Amino acid sequence: MKQLHKSSPTHAPSSAHAPAPKAAKLARPGPRSWIGYVLREQRLLFVLLGALIASTFFLLRPYLSLSPSYHLPDARPLFSFAARSGVPAGFRPPPRRVVVTGGAGFVGSHLVDRLLEQGVSVIVVDNFFTGRKENVAHHLRNPRFELLRHDVVEPILLEVDRIYHLACPASPVHYKYNPIKTIISFTSGSHRLILLTLKETCSDPIVLFSFCIFGGIGVRSCYDEGKRTAETLTMDYHRGGGVEVRIARIFNTYGPRMCLDDGRVVSNFVAQALRRQPMTVYGDGKQTRSFQYVSDLVAGLMALMESDHIGPFNLGNPGEFTMLELAQVVKETIDPMATIEFKPNTADDPHMRKPDITKAKQLLHWEPKVSLKEGLPLMVKDFRQRISDE
């Protein structure tokens, strides 16, 4: 008997078991489509306009801050961790940060010593024209000390609480070397930019200029008139911009770390006597000077900065010495056999320098304490060591 085998009809697989169709790949937009997107509906115009507005704002912002309508004398930064109030609980504000221009120089380096002793963070800005790295080398490992090689004639932006401005050559040998740059160091645009930076970023901006004023149009006028103009600028920033300022007029100062050959009378006499050379007296030697030890000057600067008085204050020792009297003190200190050599006097040399410190005594309660006979041996010790290393 034949068995009939019916072939089973071929059935399409059920939809439950059918493999899912592969998703079609989306085509990425090519360069042309992106360009078309940007160009449509004037999108490129709005992008360029936004960039122009932003650039204009940042370029004009420093100048807008000079206008009284954009700047209030008592304005403070919106966000400032240096503010005296409103510090978050548990947050310990960093120590006060100050910048000392010319901080590697003679006076500046002694000021840096005192500031660091008080726990302040110090930034020294110096181009080392008259300053020396050796003057501040003992602070290089201090985490609160920074040293920047920079010329204040060029702009610099620093976020600090206070500025001590001491960057200018003070001896005739140095300020006559480049008289134009000497006066610019007082009156350059960097002074304006530093002041604006302080006002924008700091809660307690104070600027200190240090100098004594004589005036004139002779060979030393680059120094004298530069200082006079700097005082004018400083007070204009105080009156017009609300910047808090202090002004000191520094008179003859001596002590360790002075330049060996800077042309000033005390350093000249000491270096010449130690080298067994004749001490050079210019003119008849009867012109008078006042000499204060550097620690007395630093104490006066600190008293000024902590006071509420602007100044100007004369900071100097009112005691008078003629050049011949000073030479005699140096001889007694270093070498009784030292000799004196007379030479013609230099141009524009003031015949008398005697500061009136009455105002400083009354308002700052300051006056110098170190006599010439006490301070001179300390300077001689420093000079003797440096000359022996030559």
* Catalytic residue positions, numbered: 223
Q: Which of 103, 159, 145, 158 is nearest to 126 (CA)?
A: 103
227 close to 213: Cβ distance less than 8 angstroms: yes
Where b means 16+ CB within 10 Å and e means fewer, 349-384 reads eeeebebebeebeeebebbbebebeebbebbbeebe
The Cα angle at residue 56 between residues 51 and 60, in degrees rounded to 5: 155
What one-character DSSP code corresponds to residue 74?
T
Say how far apart CA 296 and CA 117 lie, in whole Å: 16
236 close to 218: Cβ distance less than 8 angstroms: no
Dihedral of the alpha carbons of 46, 52, 55, 61, in degrees to the nearest 10 = -110
Q: Which of 370, 163, 165 is nearest to 256 (CA)?
A: 370
Q: Is 291 helix (H, G, I), strand (E, B) or coil?
A: coil
CB atoms within 10 A of CB 266: 24
